Structure 1
């Protein structure tokens, strides 16, 4: 794996895995070279380095934080539920770092990395896409955003079939808005980052303010202790709800990889050598390599790798993990307080999307009613934005990387497939969201995300142990990846058993 060279190609390549081209050896760039700044300080870290984690965080502070976490805590309390939340967030962040380790070291997105694992692309790429689509295509994220917008516009809860139909059409309109958003900018990924800066910032800041105004400080302590106290889940907890909470606390448990492609497009590590998908308006599509590149094992590249890895840890542990945990803490804290007010009924799966707004309006006035509707809409819309675009992106990246005939058909411009396919997917999801309640759809998606934890951590071990020496995973990474499989895999098996038999395999 070692080779010499101070910059540019060194005329050598290394084969990683099977059924994909060898990876040419090219030196890692300096972060300043990629981000076009003289040095990386605090300001530069905020303005140009941080980004991909915000897209994941915008998706994270959605189905889990606004719906499943508060629903579970309102019904069962913090003790036991809080420990599931904390373990899930910790394990998923470790998993994200390992996924991005591969992207930074090769410039390849995960769906193409899986193709390198024996027996090859013909098994792992279709299976990976099938699992991601099966988990997300039902559109619970879209239906929830549509209901939030309906209540915001009309002031009426979605109780009647006619109201639900109107809310679903609003969900379709919001998917059209996502399509329009990704038309503009230099990079599609950068457009998504900027949108999520606004959404996530607004949500977290205003959530903090409202909690300070209405929640007693004693409840803050109860919530924090519940979050940090090791405990089994509460007696009688709904196995499907618990599995959904575990799967969607931070992102999508075993399927987190489908939302990590943005590290390539942002330019992290070798991603800057591979290319990105440009927006149609305002972007210029440069060449996107069909296969990745990696770096020779030299002292200079080892030094650069350590710098890149520190930036990754900042993006994941400070922004993603910190934001996801704060978001879950603040939303569950608020809903727990509201659900325990005198005369207030506990939220249900059907009422959860607008529960906070309804109770705040009755107990604290119209201003907080509309605030909750706006926050709920923003949260669910950011989830819709992240899921919808990632579904399109992974299909586009997979076909582009694997098929020379596909690349010839689109003349090497991934946008020629990306945008038409987004329209097709919009039509399919528009049909599916009319079939069930949004919280029911999200529970299915979240539990299917746990299935990925039985597969992809092992594929990641295979890939990451074959990276250049400075980038290889350490012994403790194996333990944490196995921990992901055990933790999230348990919840999937419990969910599957419940669906097949009508009762959970393990009762608490």
Structure 2
């Protein structure tokens, strides 16, 4: 849709109005410029690969021999719909999408409280706890049938969690540190897991797993012919594959940090030891509507599509596929079906090691650590970054702070999150594996809600010429339906029976 000359800047809603400026000219679309500009999708892919891919994926693959893996593929494709829409908002305003949410009625106070409640399970320090399981198994050289010392796992969980929190202190910009850590993680994962999948997985398993990602007709059934599916595990994979929960929203923050579009006019969050001349504006700068803005936006959006489809979606699909191959080939589902949930993260490596030898098992344990520990660092940063932007723009007292002091809010929130995590580890019986199942199930609801909200925000606050197309809106609605169905299946199977309702 082209812009009309008389098109006006939309009403700003429940927050102060944006400044208005010209959308910067994107660099010419060349391979060299593409390499310089990419980043949000790479960071999102590298940071998010973790629980769904390493834990839930192999379990689903082993339990159902490749069937139902299409939920992961559909989840990733649906998340691209969300990612590109939240990036659209930031390209046009320089604000993260959560700030756009706060502009909606009934206002910032309501939406801050709403999203705090929605994300409570996403705050679990799951990846640090899973890392601790791997470290304890590796250090004590435990076999699949050896008992794992729970108190030791808890102690190591504290150490890993606090170490990940300390990483955010370094670098000129916090985003720079995140980008280095998660890029290294992604490269190591792809090289190591690809080699293991090529050399240690049979052709038959490859066919079953790859087929399971596109074959919707394979339904696991019990002896009587009825569907036999644990939806908490399958929906958990859907919720965690790719990113999941409110984690997808971070890609809009990364757009700003990379200086894409209007993000170059807003600023960044400095690290504690970085350049203290870096500033972050409280309110964004919206692009002035007009034909020239529409042309420039199309150039930026081309980079955005490459970033999401080529880097993020491809990386996310490969990140799911490789652990599923190993899980379908080696994971003994009885080792994770029992009451002992304190070794889930190490179960795949233990079972591979029992067949292929201790060296291969150790390599898989190392892969798990490279996935999980940087992943926990990423979660700490993502939580603090997201809520810093919410408070920085959405509260009266924060908008009075000097623009150099955004990192003070960031580290205050990070400290609060770390405190929450330490308390969670102290709850009796709450293993990281249970945190993962709870978080994965609720993640589907969170994604659906944020999709609805992002669509409403872009239609309400962006110039009409920059709205998503009717086709894109239809695809978003289908994606919303998918995640609501995943959440509903878990509620029907697991929650309603607990409160006396008859399930269907």
TM-score, structure 1 as length reference:
0.89
CA drift at 1:2: 6.4
SS of the residue aligned with 1:230?
coil
Deviates more, 1:230-239 or 1:377-386: 230-239
Aligned match of 2:65: 77
Whether the 8 Å CA contact 2:5–2:291 is kept in 1: the answer is: no
Aligned match of 1:426: 418
Aligned match of 1:7: none
The verdict on how the C-alpha distance between 1:71 and 1:54 changes in structure 2, with shifts beyond 3 A counting, is: same
The verdict on how the C-alpha distance between 1:504 and 1:478 changes in structure 2, with shifts beyond 3 A counting, is: farther
* Mapped partners of 1:161, 1:411: distance in 2: 53
The verdict on how the C-alpha distance between 1:62 and 1:381 changes in structure 2, with shifts beyond 3 A counting, is: same
* Alignment partner of 2:157 out of 161, 165, 171: 171
* Alignment partner of 1:273 out of 249, 262, 265: 265
Whether the 8 Å CA contact 2:82–2:454 is kept in 1: the answer is: no
The verdict on how the C-alpha distance between 1:368 and 1:479 changes in structure 2, with shifts beyond 3 A counting, is: same
Whether the 8 Å CA contact 1:264–1:275 is kept in 2: the answer is: yes
Does residue 146 of structure 1 match 2:132? yes
Aligned match of 1:213: 199
Aligned match of 2:34: 45
CA drift at 1:100: 1.1
* Alignment partner of 1:62 out of 44, 47, 50: 50
The verdict on how the C-alpha distance between 1:434 and 1:237 changes in structure 2, with shifts beyond 3 A counting, is: farther
* Mapped partners of 1:16, 1:336: distance in 2: 53
CA drift at 1:163: 2.5
* Mapped partners of 2:189, 2:475: distance in 1: 31
* Mapped partners of 1:431, 1:207: distance in 2: 34
Deviates more, 1:193-202 or 1:156-165: 156-165
Does residue 478 of structure 1 match 2:473? yes
Does residue 449 of structure 1 match 2:449? no
Structure 2, unaligned stretches of length 5 or more?
221-226
* Alignment partner of 1:499 out of 495, 500, 503: 495
SS of the residue aligned with 1:25?
strand
Deviates more, 1:355-364 or 1:232-241: 232-241
* Alignment partner of 2:231 out of 220, 239, 244: 239
Whether the 8 Å CA contact 2:277–2:404 is kept in 1: the answer is: no
CA drift at 1:258: 4.4
Does residue 94 of structure 1 match 2:81? yes
Deviates more, 1:409-418 or 1:156-165: 156-165
* Mapped partners of 2:58, 2:366: distance in 1: 17
Structure 1, unaligned stretches of length 5 or more?
5-11, 33-38
* Mapped partners of 2:485, 2:466: distance in 1: 30
Q: Which string of whole-angstrom CA distances, capped at 9 and with x for unpartnered residues, describes residues 73-108 of structure 1?
A: 1111212x1221111111111111111111111111
* Mapped partners of 1:105, 1:3: distance in 2: 17
The verdict on how the C-alpha distance between 1:494 and 1:223 changes in structure 2, with shifts beyond 3 A counting, is: closer
* Mapped partners of 1:253, 1:233: distance in 2: 26
TM-score, structure 2 as length reference:
0.90
The verdict on how the C-alpha distance between 1:451 and 1:163 changes in structure 2, with shifts beyond 3 A counting, is: same
**Number of aligned residue pairs:** 488
* Mapped partners of 2:378, 2:219: distance in 1: 30
Q: Which string of whole-angstrom CA distances, capped at 9 and with x for unpartnered residues, describes residues 213-245 of structure 1?
A: 111123212221111112365321112112211
* Mapped partners of 2:402, 2:496: distance in 1: 44
The verdict on how the C-alpha distance between 1:119 and 1:40 changes in structure 2, with shifts beyond 3 A counting, is: same
Aligned match of 2:224: none
The verdict on how the C-alpha distance between 1:125 and 1:230 changes in structure 2, with shifts beyond 3 A counting, is: same
SS of the residue aligned with 2:19?
strand
**What does 1:173-188 align with in structure 2 at a 5 Å threshold?**
173-188=159-174
Whether the 8 Å CA contact 1:13–1:24 is kept in 2: the answer is: no
Does residue 371 of structure 1 match 2:363? yes
Does residue 105 of structure 1 match 2:92? yes
